Structure formats: C-alpha cells, structure tokens
Chain A
C-alpha cells in the first residue's frame, strides 16, 4: 500500500472514533443515576412538573430513540440544545473551542520543541546533563499539573506579577494579552510532556549516534554536527513524534483541570459544569469536539511520521 493508501486507511479508522466515542458517552450518561429534570426542579417538584419538563426536553422517549435522533441530527451538524439554558450546543462551545485549542496546541508546541532541544542537548553534552534530565524527568512525571499550576500562580501571578494569575484574553481582543494569559497554563500543562519528550529524544539520539551507520559516516569524514542534526535527529524524530501524540491525548484530560485552576473558559471547564448538571447534549458535544481534535492530531502525526521515516510509508 502506498503512502496515500496508508493515510486514507488510518484516517478512516480514526473517523470511526467519531461515532464510537460519542456513542459510549451517550449511553454512559443515559444510564447514570443523574437526572437533569429533577436537578433543575428540585426536591419538591410535582410529578406533573417533572412529566412536563421531561416531555419538553424529549426525555420521555426511549433511550435508543433519543440516541438515533441525536446521531441523525449530529450527522447534519446539529448537536442539539442544552437542557438547562436552551442554547444550541454549537453556540455554547464555539467560543470555548478556541480557548482549549490555544491551550492544548500551545502545550503541544512547547513540550515538543522544548523536549527535543533538551533531549538533543542531553544526548550530545555528556552524562551530567543526562543524569540531570533523568532526575527532572522523574519530577516532571511525578509532579501533578494542578500542583505545578498553583506554584506557578503563586510565584509568577501573585508574588511577581509578571503574568496574569487567572483568566483569558481572546486573540481578537489583544494578541499580546492572549499570549501572556496562556504562558502559565501552557507551562503547567506542558511540563510533564517536556521531560517525557526529552527523555525519549535523548534515548533515540543516543541509539542513533552510536549506531553502525553513524560510525560509518564518521569514518567517511562526516562532521559531528551533520551526524547529529542531519541524520540522527531525523532518525529519532518519528518515535518522538509518536510519543508526543500520546502525550497530547493525555494533555486533553489535563486541560480540564488546568482550565479550572486558571479560570479559562474552555471546553474542559464547560465539560465539568455540564457533567455536574447532567446536561447531556453539551457533554455529548464536548465529546465530539475532543474526538475531532484527537482524530486530526493523529492524522497529522501519521503524516509527519511518514514524511520523516520512509519505513512508515
């Protein structure tokens, strides 16, 4: 199978997620003991009030029928309306999507670039840097992002107010403030990823630098710079990109916590509020949005890996 065929096959496989994930989300919520109608109407709601609201929200229909309707509407781009405030799901999530994308793509960029730089330095600068990286990696993996977030806010938001402690500025309002408002949350979300990518990069670089083909290149007079940055780095890149993709998917769940701590109006903070309110259409919509993000990133990673490593093609 050629590259395009492989890509098409993987994309189709990823697209299946777009049906599987929201379907699982729908039925888990449908079977949960939470009840949005009773939550809204309170303890002293009359049976007539409950029946009326159930009917108005379509919750008096069988679960399978509700699912079929949701799926049919979703296929046309209609993700429904919120049970609680009756806004369309797209309307609720549209402003939040850019916030979450800014955060998680920012984190992806930071942990990939910083991780690769540190990893290459570690592989080329000797054992001391490598040991330090090992220690920092362990800390990076062990330190929860919410703990790091609190420390960053206390240090750089309150004690030294270099960055805003909380909040978000939209790019359209001020590109400069948008960037400043993202620094601390992106660092908090990316930190564990930096160390993981750095360690992976170092290990792959060490393998490449000490491989037989590298020795052959040296014997043929190739410079160390050329071996490291032209050949070894390219060789190490594919596995590094793959692990970056895995970390990215993990960062999506981390973004829920980070958005709450930094008070960012993203999909993560909305998912928490909607789940607590049992607002199923909104939670479904967020599941769809997150799945699309994962699918797109997976496809991009596949393409990047294929470009960097002919064997993948």
Chain B
C-alpha cells in the first residue's frame, strides 16, 4: 500500500523511497518493524466510541486509541484495563470498579473517577449500545479512584459491556466529552495509540501514532499503525501479496488464494448467519405465528450443502446461536433440524399452511456472501412450497429505517458471537435489539431473567444459558444456517494474531515477528 500523506513535511518517506529507487518492488511501505499496515474492508462512520459500531473491522478503530475499563484477553478472560478490579455486591445490585492510578489520556490530562462517571453517563444517554447500561440506575464516584454502578435488577453482562468490544467501557477524556463533535475525526482516549489527524484521510486511511502517555509503553508494539480501507477483494489480495499490507480482514472466498500466496491464515468461529423472524406474532404473515411453520422453515434448509458451497472449510452448518466452547452451546441441538424437506412439508400441512406461506425477506447488508446465502435459502424453501421474495438493501442507512417500517416479517442477519445471554437479550426478549416488531414471549423473558441472576461463567450460569438456547432452537425463533469463521490474512512479519470466538481480533495484540 502506497498511500501517504504528509501535508506539512515535504520529505520523501524512507521506506517508500527505498522501494522506488530499487525499482523492483513496492512491498516496503508499512513493512518496516515500526509500522503496521492493516487493511479493513470498510471505514468507520465515526471515530467517536459513543456511536461506533462493533464487530470486525469497526472495532479495530476504537481498540487502537481507547483503552476499555475491562480488557478481555484473547483467550476470553477478563483482565484489568482502566479498572484494576471489579465486583458485584452480594445482592448483585451494585458493581464496584477500582480504577488504575496514573492513567493519562492522549492529551496528557490525568484520568479521574469523575471522568469515568461522566463518560458512562454520556454513553448511557447517547451510546450505540445503551442496552449494556440499561439496568444501571446510578453512576457515581465512591472514592478517589472508585466508581460504583447501581442496578435496578441483576445484570451479569456489565463486564462484557465494559470490555474493549462492548464499547461502553471505552472511556473518552474530559476534553473530548466537552467537544463531542471533534470525536468524529480525532481521538481522546487512554489507549496505546492516538489518531494523527493530519496524516489521516477519513474513509481511506487512518494513521495512528503512539500515545506518549500510555501507561504500558512495552505494549506499544509499533511506532505507527495505518489502517487502509480496501473494499475490493482483488485489491486487498494484491496489497497483501506485494507486502503493501501486513494484516487484513480475510474472506473465505479468498482463503485459497491467500494460502497459495504463502500468507498466514488465522481463523475462529465468529458469527451465525441465517434468518431472523421479527413477525413471531404473525401480524404480517399469520403463518409465522405457528411454531410448526417456523420449524418447517428450519427443516427445509440444506445447511451442509450451503455451508460447504459458500464458505468451504470456514463455515459449518448450525442450528444454534453460540458455537461450541461458549456457555450455552448444546451439542445435541445440532441435530434438531436435519435437512428434511418431507418433514417440512408435513409440518406445513399439519399447520394448515401447505403451499400458502409467502413473505418478503429483507437482506441485511454486509452478510458474508449474503446474496448467495439468501438465494440458496429461498430455493430450499421453494422446494417445500414456501414462496419467499428477497428485498436487498445497500447499506445500514437504508436497512435500519426499512426495518423500522415494520412492514417486513423477516431479515437475513449476521449475528456476531458473544455469550448466550447476548443472543437471548438481543433476539427474543422484549425489548431486544432485533425485536423490531415488538413481540413478547414470556418464557424467553423469564429464561433471560434466570441467566441474569448468575455469573455468566458459573455452572449455574451455563445451565441457564443452555436452557435459553434450547428454548430458542426448539421454538424456531430464527433460522440459523451457518456458523462462519472470522479470518485474518497476514504476512510472516507479524505475530500475536491468534484469536478466539470472543473477543474479536484486536490489533493492539499484534506485534512484529521475532
């Protein structure tokens, strides 16, 4: 990758000049040990963590410049971030965090408990994922470096909402909060890097330099991190092959080419793809209220065929909402909806909807191979007499208002894996992120409530998660189809790339290969 920008410094950059003078390769830009060049397929709409989205690659931008209150290690453990320790009270209605001393934001101002309180209040009011703090009734400084959150009802998800992928824990400094409009294109965090606005061209390249006040300089593995936005798959592979980019968000369709080019491929289960049914109450399509119809939608899908043909070894058929290894996964549920068109037809007939189910399926943007996936599902349903029409959308700015019209009963979706309670709370409770039709299922709510009374990782918490998972699968609230991997393609010069299902790959862990 060659894009460079230095408006106030009219000098040729050493690495690039060297490459040009050699006349043979352009691989050196970003390949030096002090600069890491990453490719992301899309730029962030904003650098402000308040309204940032998460998932890969959106989360990479706040990861670089904002330290979170809780840091989730690549193996999934909660480790100290801006908070050194944290705990729920005995009645689980208070959450106390003791903050790290000596932390400074990238403008040099020291972090205080008041700063953390102000940020959390700001996020609770204006954040993209306010549900993380939905049960928080009070946020206050209870010591010079202590913050306490009071809860209306127990919520074991706070350590997830406050980690680097939850966004609510990405504390913004006081000057940033005082001038929130500046946060769209600049940064004011306590993370290892900060944006260099002069070298950054929004939506094309984001240049991060070291935060001189970061509390752990040993963990600043690069002098500079450049994130290039490369949406075209061919361009991405060319940039990787020629060394212009060192790490990139990969796609299953390009994995063979990456392997052939000698690139490292790192992957882990990342998301469930399938169909979300908003119209569980049957307001638009009465048939969808009948669980047998929803189960027929599941039995009709040839998951194995779709997974193999569209995602190869980076996709696996699934009927569940969390993958193996995450609490709540139930092995026997994987066989709950085998590909069985006859049974699907029988269920439709039994429900009185043989050859009469017809609806429109909105295609969510950014689903991996989304058009092909949706078309394959439609073809499978057609075989059992279900007539589904696809409605594509080009962006979330179009998709979100479309779903808000409440005229469409279902949508395709990518659901990034987290913990099971996230699935329950975002898919089937009321309220829930995806529940745009506002259906209420008392048992789903009760099962979520049962999970909230336990620690996520405790045996009781896992058992409660399994109960929710089983209920969601058996009642066919969704049609999960395939579990896909997140992929990173990397040159051999970078280490520390290994990641698990959750947290998502984090560029602050990547370091020069020894």
Contact = CB atoms under 8 A, between A and B. Distances in A.
B3 A169 contact: yes
A172 B244 CA distance: 20
Interface of A: 32-36, 38-44, 46, 49, 52, 81-82, 84-87, 92, 95-96, 150, 153-154, 157-158, 161, 163-170, 172-174, 176-177, 180-181, 260-265, 269-270, 273-274, 276-278
Most buried by A among B48, B182, B228, B235: B235
A180 B17 CA distance: 12
Interface stretch (B77-85, B371-379, B389-397, B474-482): B389-397
Given A35-B400, A157-B26, A158-B242, 9 more contacts: A40-B128, A42-B129, A44-B432, A46-B130, A82-B184, A85-B185, A165-B26, A262-B235, A263-B3
B235 A165 contact: yes
Nearest to A49: B126
B184 A161 contact: no
B416 interface: no
B112 interface: no
A172 to B, nearest CB: 5
B401 A42 contact: no
Given A43-B433, A165-B244, A166-B244, A85 B45 contact: yes
A14 B234 CA distance: 39
A177 B2 contact: yes
Interface string B144-158: 000000000000000
A129 B239 CA distance: 38
Given A85-B202, A161-B24, A277-B45, A41 B12 contact: no
Contact of B239 (A86, A166, A170, A276): A166
Interface string B113-141: 00000000000001011110000000000
A175 to B, nearest CB: 9
Given A85-B47, A167-B3, A265-B204, A39 B16 contact: no
Nearest to A42: B128
B404 interface: yes
A177 B1 contact: no
Given A165-B26, A166-B230, A174 B185 contact: no
A277 B3 CA distance: 23
Contacts, number: 196
7 residue pairs, one from A and one from B, having the closest CB atoms? A167-B2, A85-B184, A39-B397, A265-B204, A278-B397, A165-B238, A276-B395
Given A177-B16, A276-B395, A85 B46 contact: yes
A227 to B, nearest CB: 44
B397 A164 contact: no
A177 B20 contact: yes
Contact of B238 (A81, A158, A270): A158
Interface in B1-43: 1-7, 10-13, 16-17, 20, 24-27, 29, 43
Nearest to A259: B204
Tell me the dominant secondary structure on chain B's binding face.
Answer: loop
A167 B202 contact: no
B131 A44 contact: yes
Interface in B372-422: 394-404
19 contacts: A33-B401, A38-B400, A40-B45, A84-B46, A85-B202, A87-B184, A92-B202, A166-B2, A166-B238, A167-B244, A169-B4, A170-B4, A173-B4, A174-B4, A181-B2, A261-B232, A276-B394, A277-B45, A278-B395
Contacts of B181: 81, 86
A32 B395 CA distance: 12
A270 B202 CA distance: 8
Contacts of A264: 3
Contacts of B185: 85-87
Given A85-B45, A158-B242, A170 B401 contact: no
A85 B232 CA distance: 24
B203 A157 contact: no
Contacts of B1: 166-167, 263
Given A172-B6, A174-B20, A181-B2, A42 B397 contact: no
B470 interface: no
A165 B235 CA distance: 8
A270 B234 contact: no
A107 B197 CA distance: 30
Nearest to B436: A43
Contact of B46 (A34, A40, A168, A270): A40
Nearest to B2: A167
Contact of B395 (A34, A181, A260): A34
B203 A270 contact: yes
Most buried by B among A32, A33, A81, A85: A85
B193 interface: no
Contact of A168 (B3, B234, B399, B431): B3
A164 to B, nearest CB: 4
